[in-house]
A and B are shown apart, each in its own frame.
Chain A
């Protein structure tokens, strides 16, 4: 999130799109209700189905799964055509005024549906873009040219207008399948937040991201919020509702194929052969990222300690390099597993047998492994993948190791939630049996590996041998010995001064051995070590506003100066305890807060001050360059209305890979042209197969219910939750049920090109058929929590068929997040 949970109460309009917040983030309703009760805020829900969130909304708009860009594009056109954008904000804080290379071609020019620079070497219709023409026009010094009247035909604003020129209400309603009147009602209600004294927030989750155009969906939300002047302001923001209490933490620490901790790129063999190459390629000249070398070197210093020195490039060569991050995303990994390229796997807290796309294919992939280690709290369907009914264990050669893991309540440590709030949590329960916390398991494996590499080094043992791995000092386990002292990990992540850190005048900023207070003190010369630059300060002793000093993320101070829900003494937000990032944008181009009574920070004549930590150079005044550049991570400091992504600088509507219709905007370009469409064993069961709408005419989506959690590991073993939601079901409209002769409670067979499952029918008015481009299109939805149980004496209480037997093995062009949210099925009585 750019903002945070409590901040929702400051909003004038709350748009939930691609999320079922009341269902899956119920606590958020506390703050949403405050906004409604105290400010008269409107809650708008856009969803294929009338959900528990829609039940609480003031306005509900149905949309066919996979048509979000049509929705957002239409909103942008509506905002621009009706002059509802926040003009001063747009002109000064975004790149609306920036001029783009005159050779740039939009999807509306030339080759319809494609931008300039498309390369399709193998002629299969899919490819990538050469982004040369997507550049800014610059002057001799390299500064971008701008037209702040927004009239120049090459300025971003005009290009944006052209790009969405055909996204009028009729077109959009036709693609989405909704009513034009309701669409306009939503647009008007939300566009009203473009007024300078109003802010609106967009809450989204997997409904936006789990599409082959998922990244572009998110881009749309950022663009809408920039046009309406809602970013960096209380009650505004682009707010991802993270699906796990610590998944924000997991991305912070780069449990992602393309990153290393702190959102830096994973080293690539081709581009980053050595430290200097990495620094040269990855460090921009402007924006706060220009400090990247400090972050990287400090990280290497944390990992290899005394063995990371200026002489050996701080052990940069010890880092493994990838050919391309794309080879290591989830779908790619399972494709490689299936092909036998990957020999072994270590799964921690993962249940791909239930949660993975094209789950039958992925289970088959697991069977190809030579060995697998599964670290889990329960014997899930993945733990039992070899004994699933229909599998012959004797034919599966995988050697399995199961490491029982402690669950979240049984270990101490921090979590980072959606709002970037890092909260330290104590251990409150003892793990059962032999279960150990993940950090102890990983520590022990690392320790053992180091021992083994000491004895038998092999060709390249140094990266392991030289790992700084001194985390012991915790409780002594009777069998395993000394376990982790979690504080050692925390201190390392927070960052320490390895030597005295001095400023330009020789003053000591941080003494040797002390924790660092700010990432501003990180050095690129090895004087600092830090496990994650964005976390600096989170374990530093700070006041809780009530007389206590303790590690920042342990604080629970209740004071809220300004009453905006900032709670600066409660835990710690990255970066540097800023609660609303890009908060420079909460003040106008003169440094005065926008009207509307939600003053956050302002220029007081000498410095930036206010209720939040300024996300800006505190002393930068109106007379200095960059005063109006709130977006400090962008090279030009401006919000990117025009911003390069894999499939273009502007989001364009493309249909999902499995779609019941053609792309109404660009019939020649049905789906995202940059998507990698896997065709492994196509046509074979089980392979990567795509459904023909004639055979599978019904749009399907998957979702979560409040009673269950993800792939069910933490809920399908709990009797109270299973009682409330015991079985796999599929929801459909009364009209579709009538067509198929289905009654509520009937057992149904749901099929896609990849598999067939059984589910109980829920027949409801909450799904209504869509009229898409003149045709009736039905949609159904189902939860993806269920699995066959895992087998064994410890198997799940709640069992059911797995929705992901139906989903395709294809994902977003930028991130390859799987398209779980829009695919094709058919249903009939079982």
Chain B
């Protein structure tokens, strides 16, 4: 399980059927439409829910790409990207988020203390905080974990298993990247998609999701150039070490000053 695995996602084959969305909920015991608790409404689109949330770890985003050469109705399977340079892992103060087997960014719910940093530092905005009490701050994070309980037992994630379009595959990352590049060249050369591209090969050190897209990433609602959050770098790589050094220095300085001063300074007399 030390080999890095990735999920190949071919948006050119995806039909937007939501099988993956439902399979994920079924496997992970997540809620759907619950009257009075979680209700979705049609806001003028097939898309529902309108964002990931603590009970939705993957979903399909719908967008219409009005390219004059070829109109496209785009379907994107959204979920945790399992980045190599995962900001969520770096900012997590409990180690609940970690790089785990197969390169999965795993999540151990018991360790999570609900701080929510992951949800704010992810460049894709993936982890969603389930707020149990907004006053005490009791909360738990949530996100796709590539069905860790299945994958470490040699199975594929539930979504991959269910996809009727065979648009999803789970396998060694290098092989998934190669497959994606082959498919993209096929889309461009033979199938009339000149804007086809791979997304996820090098972004953030390489994502755990390798997408085959038939249109620019922004048409799918993906950031064209996702970056590790600069403030995350500042926080983790500068403030944290510098701050602790500063404390250490001040304490040492004060101690030192104390010993020196004790000899030099006479207890003040009251006059």
Contact = CB atoms under 8 A, between A and B. Distances in A.
Of A29, A50, A798, the most chain B CB neighbours within 10 A belong to A29
Contact of A760 (B19, B44, B66, B192): B44
Given A30-B166, A52-B73, A56-B13, A720 B44 contact: no
A705 B45 CA distance: 13
Interface residues of B, number: 40
B31 A719 contact: yes
Contacts of B12: 56
A23 interface: yes
A761 B15 CA distance: 22
A23 B15 contact: yes
B49 A27 contact: no
Contacts of A743: 44
Given A55-B73, A760-B44, A798 B164 contact: no
Interface stretch (B33-41, B140-148, B168-176, B220-228): B33-41
Interface stretch (B21-29, B106-114, B118-126, B260-268): B21-29
Interface in A758-791: 760-766
Contact of A722 (B32, B72, B190, B191): B32
Interface in B7-24: 12-13, 15-19, 21-22
Contact of B43 (A29, A54, A58, A745): A745
A486 interface: no
A760 B45 CA distance: 9
Interface in A722-746: 722-729, 743-746
A52 B165 CA distance: 12
A33 interface: yes
Interface size class of A (residues with CB under 8 A): 35 or more
B18 A706 contact: yes
A259 interface: no
A760 B42 contact: yes
A743 B45 CA distance: 11
B39 A726 contact: yes
B132 to A, nearest CB: 21
Contacts of B42: 725-729, 745, 760, 762
B64 A766 contact: yes
B71 A52 contact: no
Contact of A720 (B32, B43, B71, B75): B32
B46 interface: yes
B41 A719 contact: no
Contacts of B64: 764-766
A707 interface: yes
B192 A58 contact: yes
A30 B163 CA distance: 9
Interface string B38-70: 111111111011000000000000001010000
A524 interface: no
A721 interface: yes
A231 to B, nearest CB: 27
Contact of B191 (A55, A58, A766): A58
Contact of B49 (A23, A721, A723, A760): A723
A129 to B, nearest CB: 43
Contact of A725 (B15, B48, B66, B165): B48
Contacts of A54: 73
B31 A26 contact: no
A40 interface: yes
Contact of B45 (A53, A55, A762, A798): A762
B39 to A, nearest CB: 7
Contact of B44 (A30, A705, A744, A798): A744
A493 interface: no
B44 A723 contact: no
A614 B166 CA distance: 33
Interface in B85-105: none
Contacts of B25: 720
Contact of A55 (B35, B43, B72, B164): B72
Contact of A761 (B44, B190, B192): B44
A748 to B, nearest CB: 11
A762 B165 contact: no
B33 A723 contact: yes
Nearest to B23: A720
A745 B47 CA distance: 12
B15 A29 contact: yes
A766 B31 CA distance: 31
A257 to B, nearest CB: 34
B46 A725 contact: yes
A745 B44 contact: yes
A452 interface: no
B22 A720 contact: yes
Contact of A724 (B43, B48, B66, B164): B48
B39 A52 contact: no
Contacts of B13: 29, 33, 56
A554 to B, nearest CB: 24
B67 to A, nearest CB: 11
A721 B43 contact: no
Contacts of A719: 31-34
A654 to B, nearest CB: 31
Contacts of B17: 22-23, 26, 52, 706
A30 B46 contact: no
A722 B15 contact: no
Contacts of A705: 46
Interface in A363-390: none
Of B22, B46, B49, B166, the most chain A CB neighbours within 10 A belong to B46
A797 interface: yes
Interface string B135-169: 00000000000000000000000000000111000
A194 to B, nearest CB: 23
Contact of B15 (A26, A50, A728, A762): A26
Given A26-B19, A55-B75, A706-B18, A723 B165 contact: no
Nearest to A722: B33
Contacts of B19: 26
A277 interface: no
Contact of B40 (A23, A723, A766): A723
A718 interface: yes
Contact of A33 (B32, B49, B74, B165): B165
A54 to B, nearest CB: 8
Contacts of A727: 41-42
A724 B22 contact: yes
Nearest to B22: A720
B22 to A, nearest CB: 5
Given A33-B13, A722-B32, A723-B49, A26 B165 contact: yes
Nearest to A719: B32
Contacts of B46: 705, 725, 762
Contacts of A746: 44
Contacts of A50: 71, 73
Contact of A22 (B15, B18, B26, B166): B15
Nearest to B26: A720
Contacts of B15: 22-23, 26, 29, 52-53, 55-56, 706
Given A723-B49, A724-B21, A761-B44, A27 B31 contact: no
A762 B38 contact: no
A450 to B, nearest CB: 44
A797 B37 CA distance: 12
Of B41, B66, B71, B75, the most chain A CB neighbours within 10 A belong to B71
Given A727-B42, A760-B42, A52 B164 contact: no
11 contacts: A26-B15, A29-B13, A50-B73, A52-B15, A55-B72, A56-B12, A720-B25, A723-B32, A724-B21, A725-B42, A744-B43
Given A55-B74, A760-B44, 4 more contacts: A719-B33, A724-B22, A725-B46, A760-B43
10 nearest A-B residue pairs (beta carbon): A744-B44, A719-B32, A745-B44, A723-B32, A720-B32, A26-B164, A727-B42, A722-B33, A723-B33, A55-B73
Interface of B: 12-13, 15-19, 21-22, 25-26, 31-35, 38-46, 48-49, 64, 66, 71-75, 164-166, 190-192
